[in-house]
Amino acid sequence: MTLILAGLGNPGPKYEKNRHNVGFLAMDAIARLWATGPWRARFQGLACEGEVSTPDGPVKLLLLKPQTYYNETGRAVGEAARFFKLKPTDVIVFHDEIDLAPGRFRMKTGGGAAGNNGIRSVTAQVGADFRRARIGVGHPGDKDAVMHYVLGDLAKADRVWLEPMLEAIAEALPFAAAGDDERYQAEVMRLAPAPKADPRKQARDSD
């Protein structure tokens, strides 16, 4: 069995620290922990392969960082899914989620795009029933400010929750590979508890 793990983000150094790129950061964390093979140009993106052990046996991984820009992510994910002849539930998309507070992590299967054009693009290519690993980055408070916010760099205050979360996402991965998304979500939040208060507000208050 092969499981595709796709991170949403935009290619190039200009975007690498953006909130929109936490999906790419999750792929990098997983690649480091599970000692995957080298990143190679493949499926309109950068891809590497690895394997995790589960109670039901080993699961092969394809990690994918689409290089098609965020809003066209589905082109890369769809190409990879068709190559491996996978069902939508064999695809997990890791992405930033403005409707979750910073440091929150939620798994979800199927549903709408909720205004996320990257998710909309994946849905157009593989159907809606893929699995979503939603990494909370918080909301700017004004819908007109969302684009500027997600294309802005993560703040220093975000490191407090982001670095532990990325490590937890990688460490708990065998649960997701086994198909137990509820346990995966719980384990990530156990290993990297969300801050009790918004770290951005705490940073402002300390200025």
Q: Could you say which DSSP state residue 18 is in?
A: B
What SS3 state is found at 53? strand
Q: What pairing do the DSSP bridges indicate for beta strands 45-54 and 40-42?
A: antiparallel
- For residue 148, indicate whether it is catalytic: no
Listed in order, strand segments (DSSP E) in the chain are: 2-7, 40-42, 45-54, 57-66, 91-97, 105-109, 131-136
Catalytic residue ranges: 20
